[in-house]
């Protein structure tokens, strides 16, 4: 189930995105990107429709994925 990001409070959205970007615990690349900037990038992707929030009713978990991946997943069911 896709949850529109606009339905979350700003605090809930920020907490969800922050948890998402810190899951791996490491940053790869030549320079480390600050957490604030990573969160901002994901929020922008959500606003542009490039990323979506997906709620798994079976596992009762939320994840953020690309819109294309979410469409592919929902069409395969």
Tell me which of 30 and 69 has the higher pLDDT.
Answer: 69
CA gap 59, 16 in Å, rounded: 16
Fold of 2-21+35-76: Arc Repressor Mutant, subunit A (1.10.10)
pLDDT of residue 33: 83
pLDDT of residue 32: 80
Share of the chain above pLDDT 90, in %: 66
Please tell me what DSSP assigns to residue 7: G
Task: Find the mean pLDDT for residues 27-55.
Answer: 89
**Rounded alpha-carbon distances, angstroms, from residue 67 to 24, 45, 48:** 21, 9, 10
Query: 1 and 59 in contact (C-beta within 8 Å)?
Result: no
């Amino acid at each position: 189930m896709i949850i529109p990001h606009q339905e979350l409070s700003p605090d809930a959205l920020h907490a969800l995105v922050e948890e998402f970007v810190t899951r791996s615990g490491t940053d790869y690349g030549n320079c480390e990107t600050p957490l604030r900037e990573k969160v901002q990038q994901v929020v922008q992707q959500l606003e542009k429709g490039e990323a979506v929030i997906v709620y798994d009713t079976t596992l009762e978990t939320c994840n953020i994925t690309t819109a294309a991946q979410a469409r592919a997943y929902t069409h395969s069911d």
